[in-house]
Structure 1
């Protein structure tokens, strides 16, 4: 049976937070998977308002949401209001049945009211983080990351971070290759790391140097090489110390952390789209050895390259991309 995703509307829900799950889960993408896609249900009270302009018309109620495999709670109309008891009860019951629960922006207040975040880290829009922490002191509210994944419960920041969260769920269910194809159709970045900061200060190009984005692109095109921080700094024409500062501001990670995350992403793509050996993939990704690849892969994804390939194989060898630039927008 297809995986059922239920989107839980509440009265006055902002329209922006509905757009990402509707576009990603509610549009048939079976041409990308070769099998099936999600069954998408919008669950709502009767005549619930969407922002100030529309009224929801759907045959599905919160009772239908209880039986879903994944429940997504978008932003509430007003985070200062107590979430509707019917919604909280339905979320709690869906979780009890084993559903994966995810929230966008102030939807975290609903999950918190259901008691599913007690003793856990949680994300929400940074503007609402203090209110969530004050109302639920048993939760470790982190205003920095785009999203936090506990496996059974996920929370995210607001607006565009909802797209990141939904693509992250597709990546978990169908693999990086399919998620990247969906992102490409949405003209969205295929993956922003969950621990990337919500608000990143703009970085002016260092005086007398190339644009910093050019250095990121250059690094992506040379991932197979044993790049060093010194080489990156030299390409950007800045000091190593300045490079570190620019990397943290632009990507939310230090240079080597960013490089390793891009190498893992490259390995995911190769595992899904080629039949290269693990040793070959380690070389193309810049890990050097299969041992290093397996270590970084497990640290990042909690699984092995072999297990990942078995789960998300998308086809046989598509050619050797060793000298090709990254195909994903960054």
Structure 2
């Protein structure tokens, strides 16, 4: 069984998180049955963008990174305090530990920014939210070679530029963990 950790910070976007949850869930039930996803954050309850509350499966200090095969990070909104938790040292340390293990890391939209802040995207290609130059400028300032492309993968770290890429990024992660044939099957079953 491949285990995916969905790392959430306050202010995360539900749509982006749900893409990972649905794709891995569809794979569990209708694909090859090999993936399970757990949610984690700095506290038991994480408040999303637009103020919905989500109770996570595990608080960060309760997880053993070695139990997981991949890390997924949705983006979020600054005005809902996303960067306060996403740029915190405990959050960044989880990202670094997954990198040390050589596990795939996938992010959507501004989820690339904590990855860059952790230092693991330094001198690598990446992208982030593309409808306001502020976020891509932030990524550049963190040492990332910003590419004007919807989805960018460099050294098994996937970044993308806005919520429209959510399902494709989740399916790319599924493909990385299983196979192209299985990811195609799940994509078709989900109607994409």
TM-score by length of 1: 0.51
1:51 aligns with 2:38: no
CA distance in 1, matches of 2:127, 2:49: 23
Q: Which of 94, 112, 136 in structure 1 is aligned with 2:116?
A: 112
CA distance in 2, matches of 1:66, 1:174: 20
Q: What's 1:76 paired with?
A: 76
Q: Quick one: structure 1 residues 172 and 96, their matched pair in 2 at CA, closer, same or farther if it must change by over 3 Å?
A: closer
CA distance in 1, matches of 2:57, 2:146: 35
CA distance in 2, matches of 1:59, 1:53: 19
Q: Quick one: structure 1 residues 89 and 32, their matched pair in 2 at CA, closer, same or farther if it must change by over 3 Å?
A: closer
Q: What's 1:12 paired with?
A: 11
CA distance in 1, matches of 2:133, 2:64: 27
Please list, as runs of the form range in 1=range in 2, the aligned pairs for 1:234-253 lying within 5 A after superposition. none
CA distance in 1, matches of 2:110, 2:64: 19
Secondary structure of 2:21's partner?
helix
Q: What's 1:298 paired with?
A: none
Q: Which of 37, 41, 57 in structure 1 is aligned with 2:38?
A: 41
Q: What's 1:139 paired with?
A: 144
Structure having the higher strand fraction is 2
Q: Quick one: structure 1 residues 14 and 30, their matched pair in 2 at CA, closer, same or farther if it must change by over 3 Å?
A: closer
Secondary structure of 1:26's partner?
helix
Q: Quick one: structure 1 residues 128 and 74, their matched pair in 2 at CA, closer, same or farther if it must change by over 3 Å?
A: farther
CA contact (8 A) 1:4 1:39 kept: yes
Q: Quick one: structure 1 residues 16 and 94, their matched pair in 2 at CA, closer, same or farther if it must change by over 3 Å?
A: same
Secondary structure of 1:131's partner?
helix
Unaligned ranges ≥5, structure 2: none
Unaligned ranges ≥5, structure 1: 189-330
Q: Pick 1 or 2: higher relative contact order, CA cutoff 8 A, min separation 6.
A: 2
**Structure 1 residue 140 displacement after superposition:** 0.9
Please list, as runs of the form range in 1=range in 2, the aligned pairs for 1:156-167 lying within 5 A after superposition. 156-167=160-171
CA distance in 2, matches of 1:75, 1:65: 23
Q: Quick one: structure 1 residues 128 and 81, their matched pair in 2 at CA, closer, same or farther if it must change by over 3 Å?
A: farther
CA distance in 2, matches of 1:178, 1:61: 31
**Structure 1 residue 121 displacement after superposition:** 1.0
Deviations 1:120-148 (A, max 9, x none): 11011212554343464321112x21211
CA distance in 2, matches of 1:132, 1:66: 29
CA distance in 2, matches of 1:168, 1:155: 11
TM-score by length of 2: 0.84
**Structure 1 residue 30 displacement after superposition:** 5.2
Q: What's 1:148 paired with?
A: 152
Count of aligned pairs: 184
CA distance in 1, matches of 2:105, 2:162: 16
CA distance in 1, matches of 2:53, 2:188: 31
**Structure 1 residue 106 displacement after superposition:** 0.0
Secondary structure of 2:58's partner?
coil
